[in-house]
C-alpha cells in the first residue's frame, strides 16, 4: 500500500502536480513566518516613560516675563474747596512723570459721583488737569471716569491710575541638583539667573519686549535736499571734519 502511494506521488510530481502530502506540508513555513513577524511587531511596543528634557539655556531656565499691574494714588482735596495743597501738587507731578516714563498709553482720572461736597472734588480735579496739561500729555491719553463712593459723607478723593508693565525674571537661589555633579558637563541651574534679573531691571520700557515702538517720522526737508543734489549730480553725503577723516597715522612711517 505504501509503495503504491509513493509511486503515485512520484508520477504526479513528474507532471508538475503537487501531491496531497506536499499540499498539506506547504502552509507550515508560511505560518512560522507570520508568527515571527507578529513577535517582532509586539517587541516594538514599549511602556517605558521618558523623563522630560531639562533646559540647557539660561534664557529657558530663567526667562524674562512681562507682567502688568495697576498703579494708583488717591488725592483728597482741601475742605475749603481751594484745590490741592503744595504737597499734593508735588505728589501729582511725580505720579504724572512716572506715567510718562512708563510708556503707558492711558491715564484714568476717577472722580466721585453723587457726593455731598462735590465742590471739593471739582477743585481737586481742576488742579490735576492743569498739572497734566503742563506735562504735555495729550487729551487722547486721558480718560475721565466716575465712581460711586462707599459713603456720601466727607471727601472721597480723586483717583489717578494707569496700567504699568514690569519685566521680571525667576527668583535666584534654587539648587535642585548638587553643583558637584558634573559628569554630564551641564551648566548649573542658577547659571545666568543674576544676569537675567539685572537685564529685566534695566529695561526702560518693558512694553518694548512685547511690541516694538513706532518709528519716528522721517525728515522730509532733508530728504528733498538729498534728492535735489542727486538729480544735479552733486555729492549727497555730508561734509566730514578732519577728525572724521579716518586717515592712517604717520607715526609708524
Exposure class string for 8-31: b at 16+ Cβ within 10 A, else e: ebeeeeeeeeebeeeeeeeeeeee
What is the rounded average pLDDT of the residues 206-227? 84
Given a cut of 80, whether residue 81 has pLDDT beyond it is no
Given a cut of 80, whether residue 77 has pLDDT beyond it is no
Pick the CATH number of 66-168 from 3.40.50.720, 3.30.1330.60, 3.40.190.10, 1.10.150.120: 3.30.1330.60
What whole-number distance in Å separates Cα of residue 80 and Cα of residue 63? 53
Express each pLDDT in 185-205 by its tens digit. Answer: 778 888 899 999 999 999 888
Q: Please, are residues 162 and 108 in contact by the beta-carbon 8 Å criterion? A: yes
- pLDDT for 47 equals 54
**Half-sphere exposure in the Cβ direction for 247 (13 Å, CA):** 8
- pLDDT for 59 equals 87
What whole-number distance in Å separates Cα of residue 179 and Cα of residue 190? 10
In this structure, the dihedral spanned by the alpha carbons of residues 206, 212, 213 and 214, taken in order and rounded to 10 degrees, is: -170
- pLDDT for 206 equals 87
Express each pLDDT in 123-159 by its tens digit. Answer: 888 899 999 999 988 889 999 988 887 766 555 688 9
Pairing between β-strand 65-75 and β-strand 158-168 as defined by DSSP bridges: antiparallel
Q: Comparing 9-13, 161-165, 178-182, which segment has the lowest mean pLDDT?
A: 9-13
Given a cut of 50, whether residue 9 has pLDDT beyond it is no
Percent of the chain exceeding pLDDT 90 equals 19
What whole-number distance in Å separates Cα of residue 182 and Cα of residue 180? 6
Q: What is the DSSP letter of 189?
A: T
Question: Where, residue-wise, is CATH 3.30.1330.60 in the chain?
Answer: 66-168
Amino acid at each position: 500500500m505504501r509503495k503504491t502511494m509513493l509511486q503515485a506521488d512520484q508520477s504526479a510530481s513528474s507532471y508538475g502536480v503537487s501531491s496531497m502530502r506536499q499540499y498539506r506540508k506547504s502552509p507550515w513555513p508560511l505560518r512560522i513566518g507570520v508568527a515571527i513577524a507578529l513577535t517582532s511587531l509586539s517587541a516594538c511596543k514599549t511602556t517605558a516613560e521618558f523623563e522630560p528634557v531639562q533646559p540647557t539655556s539660561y534664557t529657558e531656565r530663567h526667562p524674562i516675563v512681562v507682567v502688568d499691574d495697576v498703579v494708583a494714588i488717591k488725592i483728597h482735596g482741601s475742605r475749603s474747596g481751594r484745590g490741592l495743597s503744595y504737597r499734593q501738587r508735588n505728589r501729582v507731578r511725580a505720579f504724572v512723570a512716572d506715567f510718562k516714563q512708563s510708556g503707558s498709553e492711558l491715564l484714568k482720572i476717577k472722580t466721585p459721583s453723587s457726593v455731598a461736597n462735590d465742590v471739593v472734588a471739582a477743585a481737586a480735579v481742576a488742579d490735576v488737569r492743569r498739572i497734566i496739561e503742563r506735562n504735555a500729555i495729550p487729551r487722547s491719553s486721558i480718560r475721565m471716569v466716575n465712581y460711586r463712593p462707599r459713603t456720601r459723607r466727607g471727601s472721597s478723593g480723586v483717583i489717578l491710575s494707569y496700567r504699568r508693565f514690569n519685566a521680571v525674571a525667576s527668583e535666584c537661589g534654587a539648587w535642585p541638583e548638587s553643583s558637584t555633579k558634573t559628569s554630564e558637563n551641564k551648566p548649573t541651574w542658577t547659571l545666568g539667573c543674576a544676569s537675567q534679573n539685572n537685564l529685566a531691571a534695566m529695561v526702560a520700557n518693558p512694553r518694548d519686549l512685547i511690541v516694538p515702538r513706532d518709528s519716528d517720522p522721517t525728515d522730509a526737508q532733508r530728504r528733498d535736499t538729498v534728492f535735489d543734489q542727486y538729480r544735479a549730480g552733486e555729492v549727497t553725503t555730508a561734509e566730514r571734519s578732519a577728525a572724521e577723516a579716518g586717515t592712517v597715522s604717520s607715526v609708524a612711517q
